[in-house]
Amino acid sequence: MGILNVTPDSFAEAESRIDSARSVELALQMEAQGADLIDIGGESTRPGSDPLSLEEELARVVPVVRDLGKRLRVPISIDTYKAGVAKAALDLGASLVNDVSGLRFDPALAKVVAEHGAGLIVMHTRGRPKTMYSEATYENVVAEVASELKVSLDVAQSAGVLFERIVVDPGIGFAKRPEHSYGVLARLDRIAEAVERPVLVGPSRKSFLRSALNDRPAAERDWGTSAAVTGAVLAGAHMVRVHAVAEMVQVVKVAEEIRRHGSVIT
């Protein structure tokens, strides 16, 4: 999954992505580099960020989704927790909604997904981005993340979203200290087994990597990201969400080969 942030304030990119023409160009480039789908987001949900209005988010993403819906061969995912943004994107050809709130921020979102017959990613988090770290307290992070993801799954199904169209995301870096994120990465198989759904992992350039990389800035964390992606694939991830598509396609292919051979060698 290639990340396309149509924002002026992404934590992981020096370049502002608010220009829709440039965003379209970058999406087509990621497709050519091997992305299996493109995840388009108009609101930064990095820790400490402020919420964006519905109108502004629509203004950022609608032109990009409209154009890419006619040009991309791979599916489009809309990264939003707002029902209004999801509906607009799905109407324009998106086929998947990636909700960082796990259906906790907008009660109407699940119904929009169900009405469109779309796919849904529910991510684990606690609280809002502004205050999420204050809720990063766990006795057993893997068990608690799995349990709270099950709540999101129940909400989705109650709204009519088909179980087989849901993917879960354990929320690396969201309401989690670095030790929690690493613990989740190391035990993805347990989360997948508990929720019985495919798992998406988004470790790309995130701040949890700083604890192992001597506080390197986000733009210099691709080597660390490649290690996290490798670990995620070996632990059972079905999809990874990344910025550096060309490089991470190679990482995933090699990690997949290691995983495949590990399952056949006795």
**191 and 184 in contact (C-beta within 8 Å)?**
yes
Instruction: Say which DSSP state 238 is in.
Output: S
User: How many Å apart are CA 188 and CA 230, to the nearest integer?
Assistant: 12
Would residue 241 show up in a list of annotated catalytic residues for this protein?
yes
Q: List b or e across 23-37, with b for residues whose CB sees 16 or more CB atoms inside 10 angstroms.
A: bbebbbebbeeebeb
Token couple for 228: 């996290």
> Which of the residues 60, 176, 205, 206 is marked catalytic?
206
Longest dimension (CA), the chain: 57
Q: Can you say whether the dihedral through the CA atoms of 13, 174, 147, 79 is positive or negative?
A: negative
Q: Any bridge partners for residue 39, and if so which?
A: 3, 77
Residues 6+ apart with CB under 8 A from 139: none
Token couple for 13: 């990119």
Would residue 150 show up in a list of annotated catalytic residues for this protein?
no
User: How many Å apart are CA 228 and CA 232, to the nearest integer?
Assistant: 6
> Which of the residues 82, 87, 197, 241 is marked catalytic?
241
Q: Any bridge partners for residue 125, and if so which?
A: none
Just list the catalytic residues. Answer: 206, 241
